[in-house]
Amino acid sequence: MTLIPGDGIGPEVADATVRVIDACGVKIDWNRVEVTADIIRQSGESIPPAAVESLKVTRLGLTGPVTTPVGGGFQSVNVALRKRFELYANVRPVKTLPGLKTRFQDLNIDMVIFRENTEDLYSGLEHEVVNDVVTGLKVITRAASIKIATAAFKYAKQHGRKKVTAIHKANIMKKADGLFLKCCREVAEMYPQITYNELIVDNASMQLVSKPEQFDVLLLPNLYGDIISDLAAGLVGGLGVVPGANFGDGCAIFESVHGSAPDIAGKGLANPTALMLSAVMMLSHVGEAGAAERLQAAVEAVYAEGRHLTPDVGGAANTAQFADAIIARLC
């Protein structure tokens, strides 16, 4: 499996995660590839060739965050990897952790977000028409919309989920989001046992913060999916505790949702929960369901006990102490 620790807090959360995976008793042959903002700048490639070569062979990756320049500079590594390996489905389970104090802690939030990963306004097709006038193309295709809708409904069926909510702005972007919705409806018809509904993205945002417990599986195009995923993460404790995975046909990359957190990098304060829960998804994906369940249970137990949490979630432990507490639960 390809391991890209990334930069900033990436290596800290990646090392902690590799330790807990080892403690689960699952032997993984890691192919560690360094990808950092400096390496990208020097190589001039948004994904260094070593990472591409490794992923071509392993078809499986666990990645930490990589610093990305804002308003210019190179393309996000994660976005580049998603495109390069056609990882069309970004999946983020958002679940209340036991004992973790948040404004919504009593609501038992348990939703899974399916975000289309390859097109929409993220296609990178921007053009300066004349000075001070820029256009950006929103690309929505039937092929990609059907794929993500099918992934969401398949998941819902396999995991006993009851409802899929498609989120859109088809009242304004009648053609682009209209096509997305049309595809969602077509796929929904093939899953009559699953309730299907639709919400306009602004209303969905309000509903998410006022009544988040009503949501089950959410199905979104790329841009709304990106924003709503972080909003949803905020409901259950923030970016440090929510996992994420990118699936394509025959390739999957499991990642932390958060960025490289330069404000705390190198201080041992990073919360590795997000990457550890991404590892739970990875273990389940590679057929290690038992290890996945044990790791999930260990993370939940450490949160329920509350004595070894990192500062971002109100604790005083450092990254290594949190990982040690998980390992103690696993042994």
Give contact residues for ligand NAI (rule: CB under 6 A). 9, 13, 65-68, 77-78, 239-240, 255, 258-264, 270-271, 274, 312
Closest residue to ligand NAI, judged by C-beta, is 259
Burial class of 45 by CB neighbour count within 10 A (0 to 12, 13 to 18, 19+): middle
Q: How far is the CB of 15 from ligand NAI (least distance, A)?
A: 13
Closer to ligand NAI by Cβ: residue 165 or 278 = 278
Closer to ligand NAI by Cβ: residue 260 or 296 = 260
Q: How far is the CB of 104 from ligand NAI (least distance, A)?
A: 18
| Alpha helices by DSSP H, the chain | 10-23, 37-43, 49-58, 77-84, 142-158, 176-189, 201-210, 222-235, 273-285, 289-305, 319-330
Q: String of b and e for 227-255 (b: at least 16 CB within 10 Å)? A: ebbebbbbbbbbbbbbbbbbbbeebbbbb
Q: How far is the CB of 295 from ligand NAI (least distance, A)?
A: 17
Q: Which two tokens stand for residue 285?
A: 């994906």
CA distances from 245 to 61, 91, 231, 286 (A): 10, 5, 17, 13
Closer to ligand NAI by Cβ: residue 9 or 14 = 9
Q: How far is the CB of 142 from ligand NAI (least distance, A)?
A: 29
Q: How far is the CB of 238 from ligand NAI (least distance, A)?
A: 7
Closer to ligand NAI by Cβ: residue 248 or 259 = 259
C-beta separation of 75 from 228 below 8 A: no
Q: How far is the CB of 108 from ligand NAI (least distance, A)?
A: 23
Closer to ligand NAI by Cβ: residue 47 or 220 = 47
Closer to ligand NAI by Cβ: residue 126 or 189 = 126
Number of H helices, E strands in the chain: 11, 12
